Amino acid sequence: MTYVANPARYDKMEYRRCGKSGIRLPEISLGLWHNFGGVDTYETYRSILHTAFDAGVTHFDLANNYGPPAGSAEENFGSVLKKDFLPYRDELIISSKAGYHMWPGPYGEWGSRKYLISSCDQSLKRMGLEYVDIFYSHRPDPDTPMEETMGALDSIVRSGKALYAGLSNYNPEQTKEALAILKDLGTPCLIHQPKYSMLVRDAEAGLMDVLGDNGVGCIPFSPLAQGLLTSKYLKGIPEGSRAALDHGFLQKEDLSDGLIAKIQKLNDLAEGRGQSLAQMAIAWLLKDQRVTTVLIGASRVSQLQNSLGALENKAFSADELAQIETILK
């Protein structure tokens, strides 16, 4: 089957400017952290990618270690890219990252110049690309000077292997230091990717202000807190869910009775708004104009479509926001 993109793909999606840059990103982006690896089904993730692009999702987010096994998400995305998306390459923002463990030995993780540049080269080969649009330092390295890590990002951009530089998982102080170095080098940071959701709000303790003050975009990951901000766990742990999988990041012990009670109240509020809980959680992040786009995952087309439905009701009353704060306390 030859893929032809939906000609109306840009009719409904809204795009937000990424900080002070010339780049605009869709309000929802698709992350390939889970569900696109070697353990997953080709036709399923191919359909998810088609559905996303047909809905105006132009940004696909990867990293060298996504899978499992590590590297397989990039290989699989590269396969779909070659088969379906090459005619649309200039309509896409494709990102990758390096920072977590990828190969044995002392040069296979963290933030050295050697690791970042070789990782970028490997990612390009796996995806069959000449460049990625954004290349991130996936996490700060406590043992490598910030100047070396940021210098590597600068080199990657200047070499044409990436168009923009990004940061992920850096705290406010680390972010300030990194932004200053990148600015001095002449390769300003485009975007920051923090873990941020209704249940994980560390980004509100200074990071969002740093990004806003410096004109850097923000793309929260895990907006549904690994599936906790959905209705799926309200009646126990369903078979095949993240909490039920051995290779997942969400564990059964994370699901306390108190947490389930909070999720139930949030779910009731979402239903009153005519939304699923997942839709409300995504819309809640988009209420902050410093958030450029929300990075979602999807294991099936229906899940992706549900998340995209968040864009149909993004407005919150003051009373609704107060209720959410009361529940979360």
pLDDT digits (tens, 9 = 90+) for 186-200: 999 999 999 999 999
**268 occurs within a structural domain:** no
**Residue 247: its pLDDT value, please?**
46
- Evaluate whether residue 238 is within a structural domain: no
Q: Mean pLDDT score of the chain, rounded to an integer?
A: 95
> pTM of this prediction?
0.94
Is 10 part of any domain? no
Segment 162-177 mean pLDDT: 98
Number of domains in the chain: 1
CA separation, residue 226 to residues 250, 253, 267, 298 (Å): 6, 14, 16, 11
Tell me, what CATH number does 190's domain have?
3.20.20.100
pLDDT per position as a tens digit, 114-132? 999 999 999 999 999 999 9
pLDDT band of residue 155 (cuts 50, 70, 90) is very high
**Mean per-residue pLDDT, 36-46:** 98
Selected residue with higher pLDDT from 34 and 251 = 34
- Residue 197 domain-assigned (yes or no): yes
What's the pLDDT tens digit per position in 286-318? 999 999 999 999 999 999 999 999 999 999 999
CA R_g for the chain: 19
CB atoms inside a 10 Å sphere around CB 147: 14
What is the percent of the chain where pLDDT is above 90? 91
In a domain, 241, yes or no: no
**pLDDT surpassing 60 at residue 42:** yes
Whether residue 284 is predicted with pLDDT greater than 50 in this model: the reply is yes
54-68 pLDDT per residue, tens: 999 999 999 999 999
pLDDT tier, 257 (very low <50, low <70, confident <90, very high otherwise):
confident
Those residues whose C-beta lies under 8 Å from the C-beta of residue 280, and which sit 6 or more positions away, are: 266, 269, 270, 273, 310
Full domain range(s) for residue 127: 15-227+278-314
Residue 232's pLDDT band (cuts 50, 70, 90): confident
Instruction: Quote the pLDDT of residue 256.
Output: 84
CB atoms under 10 Å from CB of 317, counted, come to 9
Report if residue 52 sits inside a domain. yes
pLDDT at residue 251, as a whole number = 54
CB 194 within 8 A of CB 175: no
Query: Does 6 fall in a domain?
Result: no
Q: Is residue 170 part of a domain?
A: yes
Q: Is the dihedral of CA 17, 18, 23, 25 positive or negative?
A: negative
